[in-house]
A and B are shown apart, each in its own frame.
Chain A
Amino acid sequence: MPITQTLRCRECERTYPLEATHICELDFGPLELQFDYTAIRESISRDTIASRPPTLWRYHELLPVAGGWDPTWPVGFTPLQRAKNLGDRLGLSNLYIKNDTVNPTYSFKDRVVAVAITKAREFGFETFACASTGNLAGAVSAAGARHNMPTYVFIPSDLEVGKVRGAAIYGAQIVAVDGTYDELNRLCSEIADLYNWAFCNINIRPYYAEGSKTLAFETVEQLGWIAPDHIVAPIASGSLYTKVGKAMRELVDVGLLKQQTTRIHGAQPAGCAPVADAFGHGHTTYNPVRDPNTVAKSLAIGNPADGFYALKLAKDVGGVIESVTDDEIIEAMQLLASTEGVFAETAAGVTIAVLAKLAERGVIGRDELTVALVTGNGLKTQEAVDGQTSARFEITPSMKSFEKTLADHGVLTPA
């Protein structure tokens, strides 16, 4: 395979060989994969991509792996669903949702983890690990199980039960840390310093993060190689958001799109909105949030490592980064489920609620082609909608009881 990739510091642009490292030795700037787009342009085309299996690996030239991935694990190429009913409610006539609730462990994290574990094995690591707000825990545990690697998953101890179960079932060692995500992330970076483990979000992070690009690649391909006018994505660390931006640029760089003018918008929960707050004030950098407090726990990252770059991307592409309250989040989860039949997790509630806000404000025009990234499954965060779903009717097993009870509540006209 030709050398088409290097690691490069996003701050000082110093380059590094492809190793398990994530920060610049000089200024601690984050390292990012840099591809040789001219070389890739020669070997990639819409037709070759179309001829490949429906997984994220159909874009492997733009992923940092040399081969060796698991072709039987069905990650990616999730449905891009026309959302007519939801669009009607929001006043949008050309709305789609990218439904990543149907990945193997029910969130987009299977994408990044598929890349991370492929790279970890390539590097020869024998132990797989991550710090997680939940979705990553499940994805990492499942991938570790498939590859028969011992796996350690660090989670905040207040995480939703569904997410903990959804990780433990695969046999990973679950370590619940009495602290915020930011605190356990710091702990993990110190652990990663002493133990020779492949930490998805630490030493493998530059590779891992590239997996998020496939959400955007697929979206464009599924639209018939058209760049949408708007994409709305959630922001926690800002990694997904910034990689969507990178993906859109790359599609042009490798000749798959002539041009793209997609405005990429970011969504945060008001209880942890350092990036949205900075955006709202016109700042180029953010103030960390010390004690995140939001129903959207997967977005509760108070010190987002890519926050600075997220603000920069928003400025570059005419994006808006907005926040929404817990009530708006729950309402949006219900709206998505009741209009499109998609039960998505709280983070997607944040995305849909921000989508609604941007539509209402006219940032997104009625007929503009718009895609909302629905990143995880609602079954993982059921607590969030406890007591919020419609009441149930208690009856005895008789026609009389059935008709009377429902008629009394005005939901049935007796035959």
Chain B
Amino acid sequence: MPSVRIPTPLRSLTDGQNTVDIEATTVGDLLRNLNEIHPGFSERILDEDGELRRFVNIYVDGEDIRYRDGFETELTPNNEISIVPSVAGGI
């Protein structure tokens, strides 16, 4: 099943695990299941309207879901999902 890489600030919700495997067929599905197993997840990464917070990015195999189908992005069991806060360098 797809594996999700959990960033440091959210590991308190996963008993310190930095990756968790979650059964899901889409990203939206995955977030719902993640929240069921580890309550509190949705509140942290979604805003009041259920959209991804401004400073949170979700990647499927390295690709930002905003460039794919957002929460509708389909998943296969081999996908690696990363939840990554925005960072930047450059000028």
Q: Name A residues whose Cβ lies closer than 8 Å to a Cβ of B.
A: 11, 22-30, 108, 130-133, 135-136, 179, 181-183, 185-186, 188-190, 193-194, 200-202, 205, 234-240, 285, 288, 290, 298-301, 303-306, 308, 347, 375
> Once the chains bind, are A28 and B9 in contact (CB under 8 Å)?
yes
Q: How far is the CA of A23 from the CA of B66 in the complex (A)?
A: 21
Q: Which residues does chain A contribute within 8 Å of B84, judged by CB atoms? A: 186, 189-190
Q: Report the Cα distance A285→B55, complex, angstroms.
A: 12
Task: List A contacts of B62 (CB < 8 A).
Answer: 179, 183, 186
Nearest chain-A residue to B9 (Cβ)?
A: A25
Determine which of B8, B66, B67, B89 lies in contact with A136 in the assembled complex, contact meaning CB atoms within 8 Å: B89
* Further 13 A-B residue pairs, CB within 8 A, beyond A30-B55, A201-B90: A23-B85, A26-B44, A29-B55, A130-B89, A186-B59, A186-B82, A186-B87, A193-B8, A193-B18, A205-B87, A234-B91, A288-B67, A298-B91
**Contact present for B55 and A201 (CB under 8 Å):** no
B residues in contact with A202, CB < 8 Å: 87
* Contact status A193-B7, CB under 8 Å: yes
Chain A residue with the shortest CB-CB distance to B45: A28
Please give the distance in Å from B82's CB to the nearest CB on chain A. 7
Q: What residues of A have a CB within 8 angstroms of the CB of B18 in the complex?
A: 193-194
Q: Give bound CA distance, A108 to B90, whole Å.
A: 11
Given contacts A23-B55, A189-B84, A190-B5, are A133 and B90 in contact (CB under 8 A)?
A: yes
* A28 and B87 within 8 A (CB): no
Q: Which of A30, A188, A290 contacts B86 (CB 8 A)?
A: A30
Q: Which 3 residue pairs spanning A and B have beta carbons closest together?
A: A201-B89, A305-B88, A237-B88
Residues of B within 8 A of A132 (CB): 89-90
Known: A23-B55, A290-B67. A347 touches B87 (CB 8 A): no
Contact A236 B91 (CB under 8 A): yes
A186 touches B57 (CB 8 A): yes
The reply to whether A136 and B55 contact each other, CB–CB distance below 8 Å, is no
A234 proximity list for chain B (CB < 8 A):
91
- Assess whether A189 is in contact with B90, with CB atoms less than 8 Å apart: no
**Which listed residue (B64, B82, B89, B91) contacts A347, Cβ 8 A?**
B91
